[in-house]
């Protein structure tokens, strides 16, 4: 991952601002000897807020800004003048960002829409000035409220890529090649494992002007849920996808076994992934004839719609896009 601009995990430390203290001021003018209390309220401290921004696709801008401190509110003053509220710190994040408490692991919230805001830490409220405490029996209160203290904490921000279709397969299964053929995305393609080291997104055009977003997820290997290979680092991106497109090359020794391994890794990572709709694409079929394809159909996993494709020759690529679009509308 050295030199990559894609950062999907970052830990930050944030502190919201304290509220300004209220004023215990008394009105004093030349001909008003006992004007009474007129202390103003303190200003609110700045909050720490995440805001979804569709222009961002990575958390790299926070990699070197891991400390986010908001300013304190100003104190109140005489003549019932309130202190100035401190500015909130607005942190832009890509859509699909999840915030967790770094100590407890509890999910604070997630940002999935452009302009959506998530308050990580609220700024402290300003204290009330002494004029609020004037009563018939206490005409000259000499006290005011102090400002409310801000809060601080460490947070983990995780990005889960938002896409309609997630490509699931072993390394070198043809996922990146397919994405480069059906979209304008230009992922790195080479004939060795783990070519893809970061998720790639592409917009795929379907019939009648429709389109959907496809995500090429780095390859899964057996034991990924235990940390082998690239481990669970990118498995979380699959949680956001509406449909999972399993991709197994035609030269696999056992397509059923490979499918079971892939499904098992997803299940052990998150059993809820079983609820997602699944499709199967047998890739690299440019060297197969119709007779061999018919023979292979008898050995495909049951209960999942499958198609034989070739990204090189374009075999059944249009059919695959139709299958995906139909599944998205189901």
pLDDT tens for 234-286 read: 677 788 888 999 999 999 999 999 999 999 988 888 888 889 999 999 999 99
Q: Is 114 exposed, middle or buried (0-12, 13-18, 19+ CB in 10 A)?
A: exposed
Query: Start-end ranges of CATH 2.70.210.12 in the chain?
Result: 1-159
pLDDT band at residue 305 using 50, 70 and 90 as cut-offs: very high
Instruction: For residue 60, give the DSSP letter.
Output: G
pLDDT at residue 231, rounded to an integer: 45
At residue 226, the pLDDT reads 55
Q: pLDDT of 66-91, one tens digit each?
A: 999 999 999 999 888 999 999 999 99
Give whole-number Cα distances, 263 to 154, 168, 272, 306, in Å. 34, 9, 12, 15
Sign of the torsion formed by the C-alpha atoms of 296, 297, 302 and 304: positive
Contacts of 100 (CB under 8 A, 6+ apart): 106, 107, 108, 155, 156, 157, 158
Q: What pLDDT, on the 0 to 100 scale, is given for residue 51?
A: 97
Looking at residue 137, its pLDDT comes to 86
pLDDT for residue 33: 67
Fold of 165-329: Rossmann fold (3.40.50)
The answer to whether residues 224 and 235 touch, using CB atoms and an 8 Å cutoff, is yes
Distance CA 270, CA 79 (A): 60
pLDDT of res. 36: 85
Residue 7, pLDDT score? 81
What tokens does 227 get?
A: 């940390």
Q: Which class is domain 1-159?
A: mainly beta
- 94 compared with 49, residue with greater pLDDT: 49
Q: Is the pLDDT of residue 320 over 90?
A: yes
Looking at residue 238, its pLDDT comes to 82
pLDDT in tens, 181-233: 998 766 554 454 444 456 778 889 988 888 898 988 876 766 544 555 444 56
Comparing CA positions, the residue from 14, 77, 21 lying closest to residue 46 is 14
CA-CA distance, 181 to 59, in Å (whole number)?
28
Q: Please report the pLDDT score of residue 24 as a whole number.
A: 92
- 30: which 2 tokens? 């030349």
User: E strands of the chain, at which residues?
Assistant: 9-15, 48-52, 67-69, 89-93, 97-101, 107-111, 117-121, 152-159, 165-168, 200-205, 211-216, 243-249, 277-283, 305-308
Instruction: Please write the tens of the pLDDT for every residue from 92-132.
Output: 999 889 999 999 999 999 999 999 999 999 999 999 999 89
Does residue 1 carry a pLDDT above 90?
no
Torsion of CA 260, 265, 270, 272, to 10 degrees: -10
Structure tokens belonging to residue 87: 């500015």
Residue 227: the pLDDT is 52
Give the Cα separation of 259 and 158 in Å (integer).
28
CATH 3.40.50.300 residue ranges of the chain are 165-329
Q: Among the listed ranges 69-73, 92-96, 152-156, 306-310, which one has the minimum average pLDDT value?
A: 92-96
């Amino acid at each position: 991952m050295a030199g990559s601009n894609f950062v999907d995990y970052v830990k930050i430390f944030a502190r919201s601002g304290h509220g300004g203290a209220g004023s215990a001021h008394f009105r004093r003018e030349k001909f008003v000897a006992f004007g009474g209390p007129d202390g103003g309220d303190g200003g609110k401290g700045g909050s720490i807020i995440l805001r979804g921004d569709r222009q961002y696709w990575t958390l790299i801008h926070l990699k070197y800004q891991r400390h986010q401190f908001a300013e304190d509110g100003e104190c109140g003053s005489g003549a019932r003048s309130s202190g100035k509220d401190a500015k909130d710190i607005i942190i832009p994040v890509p859509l699909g960002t999840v915030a967790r408490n770094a100590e407890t692991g509890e999910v604070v919230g997630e940002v999935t829409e452009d302009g959506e805001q998530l308050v990580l830490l609220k700024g402290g409220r300003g204290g009330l000035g002494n004029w609020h405490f004037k009563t018939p029996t206490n005409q000259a209160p000499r006290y005011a409220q102090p400002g409310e203290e801000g809060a601080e904490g460490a947070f983990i921000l995780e990005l889960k890529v938002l896409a309609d279709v997630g490509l699931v397969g072993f390394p070198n299964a043809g996922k990146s090649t397919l994405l480069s053929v059906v979209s304008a995305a230009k992922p790195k393609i080479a004939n060795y494992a783990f070519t893809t080291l970061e998720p790639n997104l592409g917009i795929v055009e379907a019939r009648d002007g429709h389109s959907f977003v496809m995500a090429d997820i780095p390859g899964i290997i057996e034991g990924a849920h235990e940390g082998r290979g690239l481990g669970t680092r990118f498995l979380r991106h699959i949680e956001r996808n509406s449909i999972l497109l399993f991709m197994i090359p035609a030269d696999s020794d056992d397509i059923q076994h490979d499918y079971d391994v892939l499904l098992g890794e997803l299940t052990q990572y998150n059993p809820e992934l079983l609820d997602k709709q699944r499709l199967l694409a047998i890739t690299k079929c440019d060297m197969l004839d119709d007779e061999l394809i018919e023979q292979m159909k008898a050995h495909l996993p049951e209960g999942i719609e499958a198609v034989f494709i070739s990204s090189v020759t374009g075999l059944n690529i249009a059919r695959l896009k139709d299958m995906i679009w139909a599944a998205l509308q189901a």
